[in-house]
Amino acid sequence: MADIPGLIDGASEGVGLGHDFLRHIERTKILIHVIDVSGIEGRDPIEDYEKINAELAKYSEKLSRKQQIVAANKIDLLGDSDNLERLMDYMAAHGVEVYPICAMTGEGMDKLLERVWTMLEEYVEEPDETTEEVVYKAQNKPDFEVKRDDDGAFVITGARIENLVAMTNFDDDQSLRRFQRIWRYMELDKLLQEHGIQDGNTVRIYSMEFEYHK
């Protein structure tokens, strides 16, 4: 996963850190456009979307073909603005899915993440037309790690898993099932077992703590 700040005009030509950001995007499987629909800064969400996609297309045709969805952010600040309605009509006409969210409160995030998970499960790598043979190597260093705390608890740290915990409502069955699916996808059971975890041991992630059972 790559968290890329907003691209500016000329990013495809190297303006700012454009090339660095675009190279990161090339390694992702899907693109989630987080677009401000509040209108409080006088920005037009459709114009923002079109500008970003124009920069993607200028940099790489393959990049412009990546599957995309839109997260329409700051819906709590819409007021009388029709930005969200216009954006959804525009995206519907272009076959792009839109998920209204409020990143600050978490509203709409469950539906967005559920859809992202489904897209990742269904993802098929596009063939590289310029390379005859492609060798895929697993990363040696995962984006999370396990340490043993002074009280014996197994502590998992890392932005990805901590963000997942922060955005999960563990009192909601659907949210809990989504968390369990992503947990399996990240192979955290295997990682904990490699560190010697036993049934009944405590696992701690961000603000959550639970008793481990296979």
- The β-bridge partners of 147 are 155
Average pLDDT, the chain: 79
Q: Where in the chain is the domain with CATH 3.30.300.350?
A: 145-211
Q: Examine the pLDDT at 75 and tell me if it is beyond 90.
A: yes
d(CA 56, CA 65): 9
Tell me the mean pLDDT in the region 41-65: 84
Alpha helices by DSSP H, listed for the chain, are 18-26, 45-59, 61-64, 83-93, 109-122, 159-166, 173-185, 188-194
CA distance 163 to 74: 19
**In this structure, what are the phi and psi dihedrals at residue 20, rounded to the nearest 5 degrees?**
-60, -45
pLDDT of 211 > 50? The answer is yes
Q: What is the pLDDT of residue 139?
A: 43
Q: Which two tokens stand for residue 103?
A: 């990143």
- At residue 156, the pLDDT reads 92
| More confident site: 197 or 59 | 197
Amino acid 213: pLDDT = 87
Tens digit of pLDDT for each residue in 4-18? 555 445 444 444 334
Q: What is 11-122's CATH topology?
A: Rossmann fold (3.40.50)
Superfamily of structural domain 145-211: GTP-binding protein OBG, C-terminal domain (3.30.300.350)
**How do residues 127-185 score in pLDDT, each as one tens digit?**
555 444 444 443 444 567 899 999 999 999 987 788 778 777 888 887 788 788 878 87
Q: What is the pLDDT of residue 20?
A: 56
The gap from C-alpha 159 to its chain's centroid, in whole angstroms, comes to: 12
CATH 3.40.50.300 domain locations along the chain:
11-122
Q: Which residues, in sequence order, are CB contacts of 4 under 8 Å at separation 6+?
A: 21, 24, 25
Instruction: Report helix, strand or coil for 75.
Output: helix
User: What's residue 201's pLDDT?
Assistant: 94
